[in-house]
Amino acid sequence: MTMVERLLDLANDLAESSAGSLTLKRRAVSTAYYAVFHALAELCTGELLGVRADKRSEDYVRVYRSLEHGTLKSAFRTAPLNANDALRKIGDRVVRLQSERIRSDYVPSQALYTLDECRDLVRSADSVVRSIGTLSREERKRLAVHLLFKNRP
């Protein structure tokens, strides 16, 4: 089982056991977002270094750690990622999950999510990870390039 799969399972378990706990709902949402973030980091390293790259190598860690939350959001909101149907759908969910992760981690309000809202966000993260797995080779490359590298005029 991969880290992404474990994070999704954990997010689901947290959501399902969170009926009476606002803290567990917050953790479920945050964990769901991080499952998606790590899935995207894995996609980027796979595209740049190959899927068989040594995950302990300095190069692998450097590429993996190059994905940034702010860049991720802006990349999905601009061309060419928002011009491709599959990538736009993924991007819309990623941006929403990221916004909810920030709310979950930093907004002090007690009741951020109902149980249904929490479950919906976790399902959305699972859907994003599955959608990433169905991207074409060209879409995967485009996504990696635009997530990791700045667009300079």
What percent of the chain has pLDDT above 70? 99
* Average pLDDT of the chain to the nearest whole number: 95
Which domains, ranges and CATH numbers included, belong to the chain?
A: 3-148 (1.20.120)
Q: What is the pLDDT of residue 111?
A: 80
DSSP string, 88-122: HHHHHHHHHHHHHHHHHHH---S----HHHHHHHH
Mark out the alpha helices in 17-136 (DSSP H runs).
22-49, 58-64, 69-76, 85-106, 115-133
pLDDT band at 152 (very low <50, low <70, confident <90, very high): confident
Q: CB under 8 Å, gap of 24 or more: what pairs does 147-150 form? A: 147/40, 147/44, 147/67, 147/71, 147/72, 147/75, 148/44, 148/48, 148/63, 148/66, 148/67, 148/71, 150/71
Cα 18 to Cα 10, 15, 114, 152: the distances in Å are: 12, 5, 10, 44
pLDDT band at 61 (very low <50, low <70, confident <90, very high): very high
- Distance between CA atoms of residues 103 and 125, nearest Å: 16
Please write the tens of the pLDDT for every residue from 101-138: 999 999 987 788 999 999 999 999 999 999 999 999 99
pLDDT band at 67 (very low <50, low <70, confident <90, very high): very high
- Distance between CA atoms of residues 81 and 74, nearest Å: 10
Would you say residue 153 has pLDDT above 80?
no
- Distance between CA atoms of residues 132 and 89, nearest Å: 10
pLDDT band at 19 (very low <50, low <70, confident <90, very high): confident
pLDDT band at 51 (very low <50, low <70, confident <90, very high): confident
